[in-house]
Amino acid sequence: MAARGKKPNNQNARPPKPVANPDFERYCRQTFSPASTFAKPEVLKGYRVLSCTQYILGPSCATYLGELGAEVIKMELPRRGEPMRHSTPGNEGFLYPLSRWVPQSGTGLGFFGANFNEYFISMDFHRSEARELMYRLAAKADVMVENYRPGTFDRWGIGYRQLREINPRLIYVWLGGFGGWGPGRVRASYDILGQAQGGAFSITGQPEEFGGSPSKHTIWLADYWGGMMGALHALSALYWRDNVSGEGTFIEYSQVHGVSRQLEYALPLYGRQGVIRERWGNWDTELCVHGIIKCGKSSYPNSDNPQEQEEGYVLISAYEDEDFARLAKAIGQEKWVRLYKSHDARVSPESQREIYPALEAWAKDKTKEQVAQILDRAGIITQPVWNAKEVAGHPHWRERGSIRWLDDPTYGDVLSQGPAYKMSDTPPRVKWALKPIGADNELIYGKLCGLSAEELKRLEAEEII
């Protein structure tokens, strides 16, 4: 690696020769082939992460590092584990056992997706013997992730201030609602609270004039996005430790501040003009046409599933003048070219209230696929709104390995989403989905803490681990 702040001495290096008639798709297909993933090295192999996390925000941070090859050790309370195991949908006792101590109860699928590639051990953080085990584990770790209320681990004697005395190189990532200081710091936070206080819900949903209200995201966007930010910060701190300082870092991530970070122009708009951005439903405040319309027919009229009997929706994007003119012609509204001569004319609220209802009236006798087919032929960007079944069955995701059947060593075949990005030489990967609570107690405590079988048996019986 070149010295920091200096350019490498490569004046004599020759530029690569141009490739004649490169087939870029074939190159990408070969370079990122899912079939070769496990034959390649892992970029974070050799790093160890302690995940003292629950729900989604903290666990997703740790699992992103695990997908890149770090050894992630998930630490949960004995017997029952963390609360997310008991979240919806219903626990599946036979397919997803909770632990060997509670065989009749399962782990709900809500736990799925934020705990890939992790080793699972149990520990009661409150107990003095458990605290000693935490010190031993932290001494051999590179990163620790936790998302309990701010100051909780510090009060228990296992926070950053205590652990850095044992391991000065430890990267300590705390993720939570409001941060460790400030007026809101004592409040607990969940994804829905973060989005509510961070400002996201106020601009999500149908406008009041159409009978709408703020809308909750069905998936936990603030948690998964926040987890990714935590992983990014951990990687930055690892680089700084390994290449500059040699010392660890205390990282604090606020979920609420993370939501506010995503508010685009809402805050500067208010600061400059005193205008509060409001909800605009499935339309767009900056572009028109650039929104989702309702079609009049179901794509599955003969299905017994009521979810498939409802009418479909489709995205239409035609905000450039040329695209808008093609859209107008495709739906028999050539007069629109004269009525809405410029984008400024189209994007006004008054114009959108005319354009989108007319588009839905045109789509009233069509399915979302029929609408997309017509607009595709006209050269318009369009996409039917897909459900989980349609996403899971599409060949694009399957070919790229983004959705695949995972042969999990504990649970068998599991339909799983994979990492959303590719790396040519050190690709991320999913090795297993999840495990029961304490599944790796013998492995981890034996390897890292030197506990004997008798000691493990006693600690488990006393519910210390």
Is the predicted pLDDT of residue 289 greater than 70, yes or no?
Answer: yes
> Do residues 46 and 19 touch, judged by C-beta distance below 8 A?
no
Which residue's structure tokens are 């990122």? 32
> Quick one: CA torsion of 217, 220, 226, 228, rounded to 10 degrees?
-120
**Residues 124-144: pLDDT tens digits?**
998 999 999 999 999 999 999
Looking at the DSSP bridge assignments, the partners of residue 464 are none
Is the predicted pLDDT of residue 6 greater than 60, yes or no?
Answer: no
**Residues 142-196: pLDDT tens digits?**
999 999 999 999 999 999 999 999 999 999 999 998 888 888 777 777 888 888 8
With CA atoms as reference, report the closest residue to 191 among 40, 57, 298, 369. Answer: 57
pLDDT on residue 322: 97
Half-sphere exposure (Cβ direction) of 115: Cα atoms closer than 13 Å: 29
**Residues making up the chain, counted from first to last:** 465
Query: Mean per-residue pLDDT for 109-132?
Result: 93
Q: Cα separation of 215 and 199, whole Å?
A: 12
pLDDT on residue 183: 84
Is the predicted pLDDT of residue 342 greater than 60, yes or no?
Answer: yes
DSSP for 382-427, written as a single string: EEE---HHHHHT-HHHHHHTSEEEEEETTTEEEEEE--S---SSS-
Q: Cα separation of 323 and 67, whole Å?
A: 41
> Do residues 341 and 322 touch, judged by C-beta distance below 8 A?
no
With CA atoms as reference, report the closest residue to 292 among 373, 380, 384, 204. Answer: 384
Which residues fall within 8 angstroms of residue 441, CB to CB, at 6 or more apart? Answer: 121, 122, 456, 460, 465
Query: Mean per-residue pLDDT for 63-71?
Result: 98
With CA atoms as reference, report the closest residue to 76 among 47, 102, 94, 44. Answer: 102
Query: Mean per-residue pLDDT for 325-343?
Result: 97
**Residues 73-98: pLDDT tens digits?**
999 999 999 999 988 666 677 667 88
pLDDT on residue 104: 79
> Do residues 323 and 380 touch, judged by C-beta distance below 8 A?
yes
> Do residues 444 and 52 touch, judged by C-beta distance below 8 A?
no
Q: Confidence band (pLDDT; 50, 70, 90) for 41?
A: very high
Collapsing DSSP to helix, strand or coil, 162 comes out as helix
Q: Cα separation of 335 and 332, whole Å?
A: 9
Q: Confidence band (pLDDT; 50, 70, 90) for 282?
A: very high
Is the predicted pLDDT of residue 30 greater than 90, yes or no?
Answer: yes
Q: Confidence band (pLDDT; 50, 70, 90) for 410?
A: confident
pLDDT on residue 105: 84
Query: At residue 239, what is the residue type?
Result: Y
- Domains, the chain, in order of start with CATH, read 38-261+405-461 (3.40.50.10540), 290-392 (3.30.1540.10)
Buried/exposed 31-63: b ≥16 CB within 10 Å, e otherwise:
ebebeebeeeebbbeebbbbbbbbbbbbbbbbb
**Residues 212-268: pLDDT tens digits?**
898 888 889 999 999 999 999 999 999 999 999 999 999 999 999 999 999 989 999
Query: Mean per-residue pLDDT for 272-279?
Result: 92
Is the predicted pLDDT of residue 28 greater than 80, yes or no?
Answer: yes
**Residues 426-451: pLDDT tens digits?**
999 999 999 999 999 999 999 999 99
Query: Mean per-residue pLDDT for 287-306?
Result: 94
With CA atoms as reference, report the closest residue to 194 among 151, 147, 125, 255. Answer: 255
**Residues 345-368: pLDDT tens digits?**
999 999 999 999 999 999 999 999
Q: Mean pLDDT lowest for which of 100-109, 252-261, 449-458? A: 100-109
Query: Mean per-residue pLDDT for 279-283?
Result: 93
Which residue's structure tokens are 């936790």? 146
Query: Mean per-residue pLDDT for 390-396?
Result: 91
Residue spans of beta strands (DSSP E) within 125-201: 143-146, 171-176
Q: Cα separation of 298 and 295, whole Å?
A: 8
Average pLDDT, the chain: 91
Q: Confidence band (pLDDT; 50, 70, 90) for 4?
A: very low
